[in-house]
Every structure is written in C-alpha cells, then in structure tokens.
Structure 1
Amino acid sequence: MAGDRTWAVGAGVVTATAAAAAGVRWMWRHQDALMLRPPLNEWTFTHMSSLLPSERVPRAARPSVLPRAPRALDLTYAWDGATHTLSDLHVRTRTTGFAVLHRGQLVHEAYPGRFAAPHRRFQLFSLTKSVTSALLGIALEDGAIGSTDDKVVAYCPHLAGSAFDGPSIEDLLHMTSGAGGTEDYEDPDSPVNRLMRAVTGQRGTVLEAVRSVLPHSRPGTRFNYSTIDTQVLGWVLEAATGRTLAQYAAERLWGPIGAESDAYYALSRGLPRTAVGGGSFNATVRDLARFGLLMARGGQWHGTQVVPRWWVERSHGAGLPHLEVGALGEGHPTGYGYSNQWWTLGGPHRAFTGLGIYGQFLWIDPVADVVVVKTSAWPVADDPALDGETATALTALVTHLAADG
C-alpha cells in the first residue's frame, strides 16, 4: 500500500509538472496577446523595457522648458447620438496620458492611466514611424542619404532578391512599396505578426520576416500600410548614418529639442538585435509634445532648424491623388490621407497626425498652433469606432482653442 501511495504521489507530481510546462509553453506562444490585451496592456505599454531588450535615447544635457499655462478645457463633442466631455473621452477611449500645447504653452496635462505619470515612457507603436521619418529627413539634409529616389538595396544589399529589391526610399515613405500583405493584427500569418514573432523570439529572425513578404503591385502605384516598409527604412537610415536608430535620434533629435527624459527603442530578443523602426519607440508624453511642437513650427526649435522645413512640408500631404484623404482604398480609414510616414487630415489647415495601434495619437494643427498627445490602452489594436470618436474629439478641441484665442 505504501508503494502504491508513493507511486500515486510521484505520478501526481509528474502530471502537475507536465501541466505547468504546458502552461508555460502556451504562455510563450501567446505572449503577444497576453501583453497587448486588457487587463495587462495598460502595464505593458508603460513597461516595455521590462519585456524586451532596449537601447536608450538619452535626454538632453540641458532640457528645454515647456511653458505652462493651465486652463480648463470646457468643450464638448458629439458622438454616437450623444454629447460628451473631454473626461468622457478619456473613459470611453481608455486614455492613459494626455497633453495639449497651444501656442507653445502646455495648457493641459492629465494621466488617467493606472501606471501613467509624467516620467513614464509610453509604447508608441506606429507613431514610431513618424519619428523615423523625421530622422530620415535630417539624414537627407546632411547628405548621408543621397535622394529619396535611391533604391533601398543601395543601402541594404542583404535585401537583394526580395520584394524590396526595386522599390525606392520614396515608395516606402508613402507606403507604396508594392510589397507585403494586409496589416491585419488578427491574422496570425499576416506580415506584421510574422515580424512581431521574430522580434519576440518566437520564430525566425527579423530579416527572415522582412524577406518573407511578396510583391503585390508596381512600386509607387498603390497604398498599402505596412510596418515592414518602415522597418526597412530604419535599416536604410542605420546603414547610411553608421548609427543605430537610438544613437541617431539622441544626437539629431532628442538632444536638439531638449527632451527632459530618456526615451528608448525596444529591440528584438534574437541576435542581431534590431530596433523596430516602425513600432518600438517609447517616450514620455511631454517629450512627444516637444516633438509635435517641432513639427508644428516647420522643424525649427528656438531658432535652430532641426528637421528640414521642406521635409516637414512633405508631411502635410504628398499631393498624389491615391494618397489624399478618403482615397487610400478599401480597408483603410476614410478620414485620413497619407504622406511621408504621417497620416494627413486635409482641409485648409493641412493638419496631420502620427498614429499608433491601441490608441496612440500625436495630433498637429500648425495653423491653430495646437499639438495634442494622447496615449491609450485600447482593448484591440485597431478599432474604427474608437479612432473615429478620438478624431472627432480632438478636432473639437482644436476648434475650441482656436476660437478661444
């Protein structure tokens, strides 16, 4: 009997151990979903450096001052048959951090997120693309990159024979590379999810994920939003400058605008480590507001031209019919156009915005002289209703500030 009991206990331990191991394997295979969905994503989006390797973008030696002029923002907006306040927006669209600049002054700042604070760095997802664009403009002005007409493989010969052997830098900047598939975050085999599995070390390398995409159209003719396009642009920038994205951002952007906090790029787990130029930049709300103010002022910061003015002008709109607001095609939002790794808003103000999945916004209206930063923790990557409500509210906010003087 004692032997039977010993066998039973041993079998139970083995079963429990096997179950635990199976649980660990399940968590490893599904780590993306676990990290990116409620209730964990609000923590994840402010602690990405605890989950992936990272490279620091040091704050400026002399941080710039953001003048503060706090004021009540008593505005409302209409959505879904009802009238809502700014406080309602934060609850309804899961805002974690929020800042508003008007005429260069910080007029409003709030951190509704449970783990949010002025010093917290927020995962900005595809808003990273707009940072990459600014860095490319600087590299072009410096002469490190010859022209946007240069072919990608001139800087990235390791992409020879892939779908990126043919497209130009210009093609990738406007998301018209002709390479890749639909950016579908729910499809486990979509190019963006293959890229993310490579970054998190679950399957293959980042280079393999990039080379796996197929051509679908002639470069320069069709808009197809693709994080892999920007991943390649990041590699072009690193090859041309001899710097990592983090190093170049520190030297040519974060330092010059007087960032008050370190930022960082999350890196792939596997070697060689690589930053995701289309989705891994993490920064504070205030420093992102500084970046927005730089773009609102034509790339100039306190008299110094940091980003070329002509490059900022490109970011307001490409002037190409297939990239105008409402013309991006089936499956893409009707309220936006696209240019130079920015979403354009059209209209007389030619406002534009950086966007990231799960509700990250950098809304810039140069004519109204308004910059709005909104970080969020949406329950899903892409939600047209949440995006539409946020765009409506931010448009109302800009109108309110412009009318209020």
Structure 2
Amino acid sequence: MLSRAVSRPFLRLQPFTVSLGLFALGAVPDAWAKDDYEYPHAHEPIGTVEQIYEGTMLPDLAVSTYRNIDRLFPTRTIDGSDHPYALPKAPRQLDNVHFTYEGKKYDLFDYVAVDSITAMLVIKDGKVAYETYQRGNTDRTRWMSMSMAKSVTSTLAAVALHDGAIKSLDDAVVDYVPRLKGSAYEGVTIRNVLTMTSGVKWSEAFTDPSSDRRALLRAQIAQTPGAAMTLMASLPKAAEPGTVNNYSTGETQVLEEVIRSAVKMPLSDYLEQKIWRPFGMEHDAKWWLDSPNGQEIGGSGISATLRDFGRFGLFFMNGGKIAGQSILPQGWVQEATAPTVLKDGSPLNYGYMWWPGRTEASIKDGAYSAIGMQGQNIYINPTHNVVIVTFGDQPKPLRRNLIAPLAFFDAVVAALD
C-alpha cells in the first residue's frame, strides 16, 4: 500500500535538526490536510528537538514548540472524522479539588500552576466535567504526546492481533523484522517488547548526549531510512528475555516495525482506518516519521487535540468498541493495563506500554495511565468511568512532577463520585 505524502513543509529549518536534502526527498506534500489551513499556532517561533530533550527552553518558547512539533520532522497526517464522537457538557461540573500530598495541602489551581499544566480535560460518564486551556492553547491546539504515543502503538499491536495480522504475542520479533536477525533481539518475543523485558541493553537518559535514547534521537534527526533499526540491531544483550524490565523507547520503535510489517501499511494509516475516523476523533492528528514518507516514531511524536486524546481514552476504557463491536482481543484492556510478572515470578508494575496505578486508590480502582514526559497524561479509571487528559510544559524531561499527578487524579475521582 502506498502511503500518503507527509503533512506540511517545514516552516523553519532547525539547526542540526533537518537537512536541505529532505525537500529533495519529497518532504513537501501535494496538498495540506484540512485542519492545517486554520491551525491557530502555525506561525509561532519554535525551538529545536535537541532543546526539548536537553531541557533548555524558556517557558514561552517551550509552549510554542510543543504545540508545533509537526514542524520539527516530517509527519504523516491522521485524518479526523466527518462525524465526531460527541462530548457533551456534564450537568455537574468540577469546581475545585482539595487534596493532601506529602503532608501539604493543595487544590486544583495549585496543580495546574505548580505542574505547568497548559490544558486539562476531565470526562465523567462520557461527559465533560472540566476543561481548561492555558498559555494560549485552544480546543484546536495539537499538543505533543511524548511517550503517551507508546500506549497508542501498543494498542495498534492489539488491533493487529485481533485482525490476525499478528498471530501471537509469543511470536519472535525477528520473524516480523528480519533486519534484527543475528542481533540481541534473537529470541525476543513481541510480549517481551511490550513489557520492555527484551534483555537488550539500553539507557533512556534523556539529557545525556551519550545515552541510547539520544542516539535514537540522532538517528531520527538524520532522517535516513532504516537508521533506527540499524541502531537497535547494534545493541548488546544484557540479560535473558523476560528477566529484567528496562524502560526503553527503542523497544517501541521495534514494536512499530513489527506492526507495520504485519499490517502492510504505515501506523498512521492503520490508526486512522481502525480507530481515529471510525471512533470519531474530531481533528486531524500528526505523527513524526523517521524519514520523509518513512516510518512512524513508535514511542513519541503524535500531536493531537486535548479532546481527541480524551476520546482515545474513552475508546480504550470501553474495551475498544466501535459501533458496539470491539476491535481489540477479548480481555486485552485488563491484561495490557495490569501489572505483569517477570520470568522468575517477580512482580512488575508495568503493563503493555501502559502504567498501572501506584496509589492505594488507583490500584483499588484498577486505574492506569498513558504517560509522557513534561506533563502529558491520559489517566483512565474504569471503576468510576473517568478519563483525565493533561498537557504540560514542564521545563525538564526528567519526569519530575512537584505534585504527583496520581495524587491529583485520585482527588478528582473522589470529588466526582
């Protein structure tokens, strides 16, 4: 299947980020997606992708960059639906929330200010109980997903499994990605990749230029087809598969390759065909590519509106049902979002690229989250039928929240109950 052209020309070339060769390789599209003509932030100044990962942008530049990440790399457009999923206003609105965290009292306004939240949506029983946009964001603002994209990618793996394109989670990765044959990924299963227990050595240190995460970023910056898998194939083995969990964005890129190979189309197209349009996402989204007209960055780089991320949360919480029929394997949501175990039976508080709850209340409710650095969250509480989405512009990519999001989310759920 031929892929659609990437979404927009770059509005400003970033130092060291892209080369003039991108345009020769076809980064300029034939046509722009419908939302691009009216995107409210298209002409704002932006920083570079290196500044994002180094944490070296002042707040105003960070905000304009995070809502324009599709200008940092070529992207593929995920078309919105002509019939958006309705999100009516809840009859009971969330006014304020009071809670205690680490012995100190806070409220909703503290959380938004202290954790640098630029937009937040609270959905209760399918209706909007709270919605706010800060720092010039609007309901048409596309914001970066960061690692929330990992949960989207793992969900597409589930759809491929349901479709029969992926036969089993216990299939060998190299059966789908021959490029990795003879590498440390020999003997690694799709399930190992989903739980980040491949045993392949990896350093996820965002701000360390010598880390594997930054090496993957440099491969993306190079915009050379296949550069990411060249890096992944070069990594050494550190442990037996299934014995050690090591958080790795590289694992998600491997999963992207598995899915693309299985379904014979780009992940953006698969997401659009299976979820985005059928479920009723309102606006076009974008997804970073490894090269012009290339492959999606499986662990990052989706930009979408607040409400559409909220709709994705509803889709997943409700078992992946579209028109009354689930497009996910039976029991997937519970399996993918619950703590798993390592080969020796040791507990692992990580699912299939979803984060299970860690507080007493969230564990009791079976809550889980898609989490991205710098304040991005899709929190889902199936017991109380609540979805919370936050966009953040925290200055450093270090997963340092001054107020733990789960403490606030627990308080929101309690206030709405």
Bin for the TM-score computed over the shorter chain? 0.7 to 0.9
- Once the 2 structures are TM-superposed, how far is the Cα of residue 134 of structure 1 from its aligned partner? 1.0
The answer to whether residue 237 in structure 2 is matched with residue 237 in structure 1 is no
Out of 143, 162, 173, the position equivalent to 1:152 is 173
**Normalising by the residue count of structure 2, what TM-score does the alignment of the two structures yield?**
0.82
Q: Is the 8 A contact 1:95 1:375 kept in 2?
A: yes
- Once the 2 structures are TM-superposed, how far is the Cα of residue 238 of structure 1 from its aligned partner? 0.4
- Once the 2 structures are TM-superposed, how far is the Cα of residue 208 of structure 1 from its aligned partner? 2.4
- Distance change (3 Å), C-alpha of 1:323 and 1:356: farther
CA distance in 2, matches of 1:86, 1:309: 37
The answer to whether residue 396 in structure 2 is matched with residue 375 in structure 1 is no
Q: Is the 8 A contact 1:261 1:284 kept in 2?
A: yes
- Once the 2 structures are TM-superposed, how far is the Cα of residue 272 of structure 1 from its aligned partner? 6.9
Matches within 5 A, 1:62-141: 62-69=83-90, 71-112=93-134, 114-141=135-162
Amino acid aligned to 2:388: V
Amino acid aligned to 2:307: R
- Once the 2 structures are TM-superposed, how far is the Cα of residue 398 of structure 1 from its aligned partner? 1.2
Q: Is the 8 A contact 1:198 1:205 kept in 2?
A: yes
Out of 346, 352, 356, the position equivalent to 1:340 is 352
Matches within 5 A, 1:152-171: 152-171=173-192
CA distance in 2, matches of 1:201, 1:41: 23
- Once the 2 structures are TM-superposed, how far is the Cα of residue 252 of structure 1 from its aligned partner? 0.5
Q: What residue ranges of structure 1 are gaps of 5+ in the alignment?
A: 1-23, 329-336
Q: Is the 8 A contact 2:123 2:310 kept in 1?
A: yes
CA distance in 2, matches of 1:191, 1:52: 20
Deviations 1:17-44 (A, max 9, x none): xxxxxxx968989943424533322111
Deviations 1:279-316 (A, max 9, x none): 11111110111111112212224523133342112123
- Once the 2 structures are TM-superposed, how far is the Cα of residue 115 of structure 1 from its aligned partner? 3.9
Match of 2:34 in 1: none
Secondary structure of 2:364's counterpart equals coil
Count of residues in correspondence between the two structures: 367
Q: Is the 8 A contact 1:256 1:306 kept in 2?
A: no
Out of 13, 27, 38, the position equivalent to 2:58 is 38
Match of 1:400 in 2: 415
Kindly name which structure, 1 or 2, has the bigger radius of gyration based on alpha carbons.
1
CA distance in 2, matches of 1:27, 1:319: 38
- Once the 2 structures are TM-superposed, how far is the Cα of residue 365 of structure 1 from its aligned partner? 0.5
Deviates more, 1:75-84 or 1:359-368: 75-84
- Once the 2 structures are TM-superposed, how far is the Cα of residue 148 of structure 1 from its aligned partner? 0.4
- Once the 2 structures are TM-superposed, how far is the Cα of residue 55 of structure 1 from its aligned partner? 0.1
- Once the 2 structures are TM-superposed, how far is the Cα of residue 348 of structure 1 from its aligned partner? 2.4
Q: Is the 8 A contact 1:152 1:169 kept in 2?
A: yes
- Once the 2 structures are TM-superposed, how far is the Cα of residue 322 of structure 1 from its aligned partner? 8.1
CA distance in 2, matches of 1:389, 1:76: 14
- Once the 2 structures are TM-superposed, how far is the Cα of residue 188 of structure 1 from its aligned partner? 1.0
CA distance in 2, matches of 1:247, 1:202: 20
The answer to whether residue 343 in structure 2 is matched with residue 287 in structure 1 is no
- Distance change (3 Å), C-alpha of 1:142 and 1:321: same
Deviations 1:238-267 (A, max 9, x none): 000011010000000101210000111011
CA distance in 1, matches of 2:49, 2:294: 19
Q: Is the 8 A contact 1:223 1:322 kept in 2?
A: no
CA distance in 1, matches of 2:17, 2:232: 25
Secondary structure of 1:88's counterpart equals helix
Secondary structure of 1:392's counterpart equals helix
- Distance change (3 Å), C-alpha of 1:48 and 1:31: closer
Out of 406, 409, 414, the position equivalent to 1:391 is 406
Q: Is the 8 A contact 1:223 1:323 kept in 2?
A: no
Q: Is the 8 A contact 1:323 1:338 kept in 2?
A: no
CA distance in 2, matches of 1:202, 1:139: 27
Deviations 1:40-67 (A, max 9, x none): 2211111011221100000013212112
Amino acid aligned to 2:398: D
Secondary structure of 1:339's counterpart equals coil
- Distance change (3 Å), C-alpha of 1:364 and 1:323: farther
Q: Is the 8 A contact 1:133 1:340 kept in 2?
A: yes
Amino acid aligned to 2:267: L
Q: Identity across aligned pairs (percent)? A: 32
Amino acid aligned to 2:295: T
Deviates more, 1:116-125 or 1:310-319: 310-319
Deviates more, 1:305-314 or 1:231-240: 305-314
Out of 369, 372, 376, the position equivalent to 1:353 is 369
Deviates more, 1:282-291 or 1:72-81: 72-81
- Distance change (3 Å), C-alpha of 1:181 and 1:397: same
CA distance in 1, matches of 2:344, 2:304: 29
Q: Is the 8 A contact 2:229 2:254 kept in 1?
A: no
- Once the 2 structures are TM-superposed, how far is the Cα of residue 202 of structure 1 from its aligned partner? 8.2
Match of 2:44 in 1: none
Match of 2:196 in 1: 175
Q: Provide the alpha-carbon RMSD of the alignment.
A: 2.5
Between structures 1 and 2, the one with greater helix share? 1
Secondary structure of 2:182's counterpart equals coil
**Normalising by the residue count of structure 1, what TM-score does the alignment of the two structures yield?**
0.84
- Once the 2 structures are TM-superposed, how far is the Cα of residue 195 of structure 1 from its aligned partner? 0.6
